[in-house]
Amino acid sequence: MTNRLHYQIALTLVPQVGAITAKTLVSYCGSAEAVFRSSRKDLLKIPGIGPGVVQAIAASAALRLAEAELAFLEQYGVTALFYTDEHFPARLRQNADCPALLYFKGSDAGLLSARRMVAVVGTRQPTEYGKAVCEELVDGLRAYDVVLVSGLAFGIDITAHRKATQLGVPNIAVLGHGLGKVYPAQHRSAALSLLENGGLLTEYTHNTGPDREHFPMRNRIIAGLCDALLVVETASSGGSMISAELAAQYERDVFAVPGRLRDPKSAGCNLLIKNNRAKLIETAADLAANLGWDEAGRQRNVQTKLFLDLNPAETQLIDIIRRRPEIPIDELTRAANQSPGALAALLLGLEFKGMVRTLPGKRYILT
């Protein structure tokens, strides 16, 4: 396992090899290790792979750097998840630009695949109104058994994290730097607190600093991890608007808190609502209703639903779907061993019973 991870980390450290190129190389070669063991001639046959990339792969620098990263992971109990791993978050994997490798430090990496995930983003300089609404919404979300995602930045991000930690809501901070430090340093205590019921997530190696260009990249992870992205307060441009645009591209639901006319700190939220890029939200119940979360059944365990009168084939499907936060139709077809027609009929019946919901792209989740 460690040897395999060594090559996976090394692949992400090869100059000129970003996430998409890394995944292309693995898809043709079969594994990260196979990429490093492939001949120059074979690598050059891969579409989009030129001599510069091949030369960088042949050099030993990435493998040496990966050894240092492995030592850090072992010393500090960090979990590394390659995009081909079973436990890599499925929501993120479905996006073509998702990272090839994630580093997670926290209470349980399984939180990255929680059944309900909501991202909260906003300005770094919120008004008292914005902070109060943010805390109110987080408090309301607690009843829906969600994992909250944000970016540990000043303003709305840290307000959401602190309130979630105070209320015992699991929350994950996505960082624009490595796990060797916490940025901003003023949020170190908050970061340590959320490790007990959440975690810190990044695509960067431990010694990577908080460079400016990392934060827009960080935003695609925040947007990709969630079922819904909630913008509390933001100007008409900036990181929160980038996150909202990414969430829309990933077919996530986007919600925005309305603000006063001509208030620059609410201009972005009002613009998203005005242009139908986000749904207006006043309470957590608004979000839950839009997502089809049954308020009467909040925090209801799926086992309770199985007391319904299900036939064996329906029970089998429920057992398959419940193992994943969501499952594409092709994987469900293979796992269920049903004909397409029979599977479609079973899924339709489960939807009528309120047990299964269809997501864009023919993906299925339990309600």
User: Domain segments of the chain: what residues?
Assistant: 2-76, 109-295, 301-366
Beta strand pairing status for 117-121 and 228-231? parallel
Over 90: is that where the pLDDT of 287 sits? Answer: yes
Share of the chain above pLDDT 70, in %: 95
Sign for the CA dihedral angle at 260, 265, 268, 272 comes to negative
Same fold, 109-295 and 301-366: no
pLDDT for res 294: 64
Cβ atoms 264, 238 nearer than 8 A: no
What is the pTM for the complete model shown?
Answer: 0.80
pLDDT for res 332: 86
Question: From CA 265, how far away is CA 290, in angstroms rounded?
Answer: 25
Please check whether the domain covering 301-366 is classified as CATH 3.40.50.720. no
| Residue entry with tokens 């979990």 | 79
Over 70: is that where the pLDDT of 283 sits? Answer: yes
Q: How confident is the model at residue 309 (pLDDT cuts 50, 70, 90)?
A: low
Question: From CA 106, how far away is CA 100, in angstroms rounded?
Answer: 20
Degrees to nearest 5, angle at CA 114 with 335 and 353: 60
Question: From CA 330, how far away is CA 294, in angstroms rounded?
Answer: 27
Cβ atoms 102, 109 nearer than 8 A: no
Q: What is the tens place of the pLDDT at every residue in 196-224?
A: 999 999 999 999 999 989 998 999 999 99
Which CATH superfamily groups domain 2-76?
5' to 3' exonuclease, C-terminal subdomain (1.10.150.20)
Over 60: is that where the pLDDT of 307 sits? Answer: no
The region, left, alpha or beta by phi > 0 then psi within -120 to 50, assigned to residue 353 is: alpha
Cβ atoms 176, 218 nearer than 8 A: yes
| 3-state secondary structure (DSSP) of residue 292 | coil
Shortest CA distance to 22 belongs to which of 70, 94, 84? Answer: 84
| 3-state secondary structure (DSSP) of residue 314 | helix
* Residue that wins the pLDDT comparison between 316 and 75: 75
| 3-state secondary structure (DSSP) of residue 212 | coil
Please check whether the domain covering 109-295 is classified as CATH 3.40.50.450. yes
Beta strand pairing status for 356-359 and 363-366? antiparallel
